[in-house]
Structure 1
Amino acid sequence: MWSCGSSNGTVNSVDQQFCYDLELVFSILSIIYLIICFPFSICYNSLLVLVNLYNKPSMTMPDVYFVNIAIAGLILSLVALIQLLGPDNPQWAVWTFNREVYITLLILFNISALVTMYSTTLLSLDYYIEQALPRTYMSSVYNTKHVCGFIWGGAVLTSFSSLLLYVCSHVPKIIECSKIQNKEVADTIMVFIGFFVPAIAVLYALILILRIRNQSTPLEQDSARLDPSTHKLLVATVCTQFILWTPYYMTLLVHITLNSKGSDLITQYHVYYFVKGLSKLLAYSCSFVIPLLYTYMHKNFTNKLRQLVRKLDCWTEGCSHQHSEVQQQVFLSES
């Protein structure tokens, strides 16, 4: 994903040794991610999706958003696996990806990032609506499913700018394409839409939630329709989400600012490439941490998982003992 070949600055022995040290550190961190975080990310995200889909009738509004985040997390994990082993690391000669594959990975990364961010944002807003107007059912499971569909559609449309950059790179003679080949434009769109807008919306929602929790309202007895642990899960998810994604968007913002001024500072320091790669690694780890928080902080997840395991055992081993227990209960009730 990152190597010393990324820099175009002046080469000397000290600078090159420093670069190799950074490369070694990042390689170790990447291996740790691939060995620990990647398999757990696939496992926890898959469990989150399967358990909730198996228990569809008992799904709540937060569950739908977390299923949405888990699906995006699976995509992000697969993108991380390919990028950490492949196209950005020339040491892995087995990966001979061309620009088409690279731009596909970029689009999938952007879509996953947007879906994760906006699912968390709308979860915060819907949680406030649920607490403020519990009897209206505006944030019902039915409505949330349709909202999640719009999230995916909006993420695909927003990532369309990256696709335009790729198309125009193959037809540079067209005047219109020459005006939109600037990669900083697409990065600016991602920073604004993918980070600043969700950050402002989440901050606004948390302020409203804090305000309504500190006030006694006539509907206070109804505000417990959602499990109280949902508030802790929401706060933990929001904090984790922005802690892990902020470094990536900040490095993107630095890149946009310096390139727009024509500065060569980026090409002169290996540290920038190391920080950029490390921030992307933190963003990838979000696909592991968020489902981990959900599985351990959600009150009913363990019970739902047990029901799914029992159902799988029933399919593989048969349920004759359950039928005998049911017949015994019926016999006792009749007698």
Structure 2
Amino acid sequence: MDAENDSVFLNGSSLVEVDVFSNLQDINLTADGSLVLRCLICVVYSVVCAAGLMGNLLVLFFTRVRQERKKSRVNFFVLNLAVTDLQFVLTLPFWAVDTALDFSWPFGDAMCKIVLSVTVMNMYASVFFLTAMSVTRYWSVASALNNSAVRKSCSAKWVCAIIWTLATLATAPTPIFSTVTNVTGEKLCLLRFPGGQYWLAVYHIQKILVGFVVPMCIVSISYIMLLRFIQNRSMRTSNPRRRSQVTKSVTIVVLSFFLCWMPNQAITLWSVLVKLNVANWDRAYYVVHTYVFPVTVCLAHTNSCLNPIIYCLMRKDFRNKLRALVRRG
């Protein structure tokens, strides 16, 4: 197969590239992924699916009860974050089977489009909700530190509606251009653009910028400004310790997202440079995409399932309710 038939396989919200070049034999490596690595990833997907399903359902239940008792914008964002991550958890069995079959897609073209769309939308929605949570925390603490009255702001429901709309628009190319295609006798779930590598590179760039760089910049600015407020002014609130704990928990969620997604985004950027002929396709590129990139996909997927759980486990009331539930069981 020559370079004209290069394709890209989308494993969830990340891109696992299946680049087959005429000089593949010069790489002196097998084209098949490691069986041990694929089995390990399948096990991780199964564990994360079980933990994510149970954890996100508990988060939905406890957060919903808390939201009914006390209205909170952050809690409403956590509720939506749990919903989108729960949807993503349900796609993991498909990716586990796909990985076990060495990325051979057995579920047909319709499921290829559906599963890819859900996973990509989850990636965008998750980071958008994390960004909204960070900005909301800054606004809340800054208002308290300034001893200002509650100012009119956009309703949390409207913010969530905007986030879901943006995530849907960002995901739009996925169901349009994803398809199941025979490549060297294997049925692969591919994202194929009519313009070839150029539009594929644009798709990658959108993922890097919209799904990672821009949101992380907003989050970083929010937290830098928040730290400046805390350092320069005294906390004028009846429960400063509580507010500090909530801020800490949101910070941990954001940092976990950054650390889990950074390797995947870095390799994706390398892929963009290769497609734009800025970097060379060589042995190092092949080895990284064959053996390292699947691990970064697994790491990113794990984070996407566990965001609400990490956030809620930092909260004492959630831990107390969880202990009570376990004791009753």
Q: TM-score range by the shorter chain?
A: 0.7 to 0.9
Q: Displacement of 1:50 after TM fit?
A: 1.4
Q: Which one-letter code corresponds to 1:242 in the other structure?
A: F
1:245-264 paired onto structure 2 within 5 Å: 245-261=261-277
Cα distance, 1:221 vs structure 2: 2.9
Q: Please, which runs of 5 or more residues in structure 1 have no aligned partner?
A: 170-175, 314-335
When normalised by structure 1's length, the TM-score is 0.75
Distance 1:138 1:278 in 2: 45
Greater displacement, 290-299 / 278-287: 290-299
Corresponding residue number in structure 2 for 1:297: 314
Matched, 1:124 2:134: yes
After superposing the two structures, state which structure 1 stretch, 7-16 or 27-36, moved more: 7-16
Is 1:152 matched up with 2:152? no
Deviation of 1:185 (Å) = 1.7
The 8 Å contact of residues 241 and 286 in structure 1, kept in 2 or not, is answered as yes
Question: What's the RMSD between the two structures over aligned residues?
Answer: 3.7
Cα shift at 1:232: 1.2
Q: Which amino acid aligns with 2:86?
A: L
Equivalent-residue separation in structure 2 for 1:138 and 1:254 (angstroms): 44
1: CA distance, partners of 2:115 / 2:109: 10
- Structure 1 residue 278: Cα displacement: 1.3
Secondary structure (helix, strand or coil) at the match of 2:24 reads coil
Q: TM-score, normalised by structure 2?
A: 0.76
**Between Structure 1 and Structure 2, how many residues are aligned?**
298
> Could you say which residue in structure 2 is the equivalent of 1:28?
39
Whole-angstrom CA distance in 2 between matches of 1:102 and 1:89: 16
Match of 2:217 among 195, 200, 217: 200
Corresponding residue of 1:106: 116
Provide the rounded CA distance (Å) in 2 between the counterparts of 1:101 and 1:156: 18
The CA deviation string for residues 225-264 of structure 1, in whole angstroms up to 9 with x for no partner, is: 9633101101111100111111222222111111111766
Aligned in 2, Cα 1:92/1:246: closer, same or farther, shift over 3 Å?
Answer: closer
Aligned residues of 1:51 and 1:305 also touching (Cα < 8 A): no
- The alignment partner of 1:231 has SS state of helix
**What pairs up with 1:221-236 in 2 under 5 angstroms?**
221=237, 224=240, 227-236=243-252
Deviations 1:4-46 (A, max 9, x none): 9875553489622xx66x5134223213313422201111111
SS of 2:155's equivalent in the other structure is: helix
User: Is it true that 1:68 corresponds to 2:80 in the alignment?
Assistant: yes
CA contact (8 A) 1:124 1:205 kept: yes
Note the alpha carbon deviations across 1:195-215, whole angstroms, 9 max, x for none. Answer: 111011011001001100101
2:85–2:306 Cα contact (<8 Å) kept: no
Is 1:274 equivalent to 2:291 in the alignment?
A: yes
The aligned residue for residue 238 of structure 1 is 254
Question: Which whole-Å deviations, capped at 9, do the CAs of 1:39-73 have from their partners, x for residues lacking one?
Answer: 01111111101122233223523222222221121
- Would the aligned equivalents of 1:7 and 1:270 in 2 still touch at CA under 8 Å? no
Gaps of 5+ in 2: 1-10, 182-192
Deviation at 1:297, TM superposition (A): 0.9
C-alpha contact (below 8 Å) 1:49/1:67 kept by paired residues: yes
1:214 to 210, 218, 231: 231
Question: How far, CA to CA, are the matches of 2:298 and 2:304 in structure 1?
Answer: 11
Task: Calculate percent identity across the aligned residue pairs.
Answer: 19
Asked whether the equivalents of residues 6 and 273 of structure 1 are also in contact (C-alpha less than 8 Å), the reply is: no
| Paired residue secondary structure (1:182) | helix
Which structure is higher in strand share?
2
